[in-house]
Amino acid sequence: MRIVLDEQKAIVSYVLIGDVEGSVEYNGELPDDFITSFKPMLFKLQGDEIVRNPDYCEPETPMRDLTEQDKINAYQFKMNLDFKKQLEEMRHDE
């Protein structure tokens, strides 16, 4: 396995087969959830073992401004919900 580390030895990426530029070889044990839970910087190399990074913070997803198409899609979605609600009320009244 090859891992790419940042300056604080947090694992930024890894490969099981092949090589990645700037990577180092790691042959030690992996935490049980390393592969299934991996996110950049969630784990770090501490000494000669990989551990969860106690300094890890979930990155914030930047919000983008709504485009005109986003607004049209939201309007159509709301219209569909309103029609569905009206249809269910009509069926219920029968």
Shared-domain flag, residues 46 and 76 = no
Total domain count for the chain?
Answer: 2
Q: Is residue 57 part of a domain?
A: no
Shared-domain flag, residues 48 and 88 = no
Higher pLDDT, 60 or 26: 26
DSSP strands (E only) in the chain: 2-5, 11-15, 24-25, 43-46, 49-52
Shared-domain flag, residues 46 and 70 = no
Q: Give which of 7, 16, 52 is closest to 34, Cα–Cα.
A: 52
Length of the chain in terms of residues written: 94
Confidence of residue 21 (pLDDT cuts 50, 70, 90): very high
Q: Is residue 33 part of a domain?
A: yes
Shared-domain flag, residues 7 and 46 = yes
Q: Is residue 58 part of a domain?
A: no
The model carries a pTM of 0.63
Confidence of residue 92 (pLDDT cuts 50, 70, 90): confident
Alpha-carbon span 63 to 13, nearest angstrom? 25
Domain that holds residue 20: 2-52
What confidence tens digit (pLDDT) does each residue in 44-74 have?
A: 999 999 999 999 998 888 878 889 999 999 9
Shared-domain flag, residues 34 and 70 = no
What confidence tens digit (pLDDT) does each residue in 9-18 have?
A: 999 999 999 9
Position 35 pLDDT exceeds 80: yes
Q: Is residue 11 part of a domain?
A: yes
Position 94 pLDDT exceeds 80: no
CA atoms within 13 A on the CB side of 20: 16
